[in-house]
Amino acid sequence: MPLQLSSTFYSALAEAGRPLAGMWVCSSSPLVAEICAGSGLDWLLIDAEHSPNGLESILAQLHAVSGYPLQVMVRPPVNGTVVIKQYLDLGVQNLLIPMVNSAFEAAAAVAAVRYPPHGVRGVGSALARASRWNRIPDYLATASESISLTVQIESEAAASAVEEILAVDGVDGIFLGPSDLAASMGLLGQQENPLVRAVVEHCLEAAKAAGKPAGVNAFNESTARAYLDAGASFVLVGADVAVLARESERFAKTFIPTPEVVERDSY
Ligand SMILES: O=C(O)C(=O)C[C@H](O)[C@@H](O)CO
């Protein structure tokens, strides 16, 4: 029986017939990635934009989660042809490209994931995990069927161009980043601000009109539910590192007496 690659994020979304819920893996740890993979969530996003991940640690995490029935997406640090080629050759099948601000930038990402004549992806898969070292029959001809591309809308410029970005052939879906969006609107740290939420909802509507799925980052449960009600097809509702940070603080608060605040003279 020939080897087969798993289905993509968007095939799984269509098959599920309901929104997909997932979480970030930012710890760069294969062990933590595997713990999260067995949680029952629909998908994981391994982050390399803000997390200390290199090709080796991403590969180790892909290995760790490979036996679990969920989708895995990976976010590279930049929208770059070389880095995208390396991720694809590593066997990443679902890519989330950060900071895509225009149709031009979205088209560059599409070109990076496709072989010539449809794109500019370099040909090295025979020596790479992507094709399982040429054990996937016809990998070069069929690669694009095993890859999904999601672009991140996370600035005012991107939100203004969202219709054009959605219209780019090869963009399978969009993902809203309320934190950077808020920052670009002069509202740093205010991802829950009604002005930010209104822009997110505008983009969700644009995606619906374009017939493409849209996802959003929302760690606050009521916000996540509101975005799902507004038409989000997939959400990220937490992160490994955040769970660990908040729970370890809770342990400390529960068992360690709060030191008295010592009033000091000002020097
Ligand atoms: O702008 C956003 O929101 C995101 O892109 C998500 C962040 O990068 C993520 O680290 C959560 O804060």
Residue nearest to atom 12 of ligand 1 (CA): 179
CB–CB of 179/123 below 8 Å? no
Q: In the structure encoding, which two tokens stand for residue 39, read together?
A: 């949680």
Complex ipTM, two decimals? Answer: 0.95
Select which of 50, 63, 118, 202 is catalytic.
50
> 267: which residues sit within 8 A by CB, 6+ positions away?
none
Confidence tier at 260 by pLDDT (50, 70, 90): low
The DSSP symbol for 216 reads: E
Q: Which residues pair with 47 in a beta bridge?
A: 75
Please provide the average confidence, as pLDDT, over all residues in the chain: 96
Between the CA of 217 and the centroid of ligand 1 the distance, in Å, is: 7
Rounded to whole angstroms, how far apart are CA atoms 140 and 131? 8
Global confidence as pTM: 0.95
| pLDDT (tens digit per residue) in 86-139 | 999 999 999 999 999 999 999 999 999 999 999 999 999 999 999 999 999 999
Q: Give the C-alpha distances (Å, rounded to integers) separating 237 from 143, 172, 223.
A: 30, 21, 10
| Probe residue for ligand 1, chosen from 217, 220, 236, 240 as the CB with the greatest number of ligand atoms within 8 Å | 217
Q: Which residues pair with 21 in a beta bridge?
A: 235
Active site residue 50: yes
pLDDT at 259 over 70: no
